[in-house]
Structure 1
């Protein structure tokens, strides 16, 4: 879903459209997070550094992405 389409849905006043847009944004954020964590690890970042950047504990980040 394109950004303009997401904005249109949120502004439509239709909760069903808005909620679907929120779901799409969540999925996009998760994809960006996963790619960014992988890149940080490739560049030598520690789990603690990544956790700090995401506002999470190092244990939580490692449990989610350490596999």
Structure 2
């Protein structure tokens, strides 16, 4: 499962187990995208406050979730 149409078909399909698997796959994809963009934002100098505001969470929440991915001087 990779294309948007495949996800849509799976989520809208008859089989709820297939739909749940599609939802889980989307969740993993969203987590990966979020992490990549947080790393890029930090590499470009964005503060945890700015990142948290964009994500709609508190600074501490964003930092706790993503800080382990960030190393000094790079991603």
TM range (shorter): over 0.9
**With CA pairs under 8 Å and 6+ residues apart, which has the higher RCO, 1 or 2?**
2
Distance in 2 of aligned mates of 1:23 and 1:11? 14
* 1:40, distance to aligned residue in structure 2 (A): 0.3
Unpaired runs of at least 5, structure 2: 69-75
Unpaired runs of at least 5, structure 1: none
Distance in 2 of aligned mates of 1:8 and 1:47? 37
Runs of 4+ residues over 3 Å off in structure 1: none
Q: Which has the higher helix share?
A: 1
- Which residue of structure 1 lines up, in the alignment, with residue 62 of structure 2? 61
- Which residue of structure 2 lines up, in the alignment, with residue 23 of structure 1? 24
Total equivalences in the alignment: 67
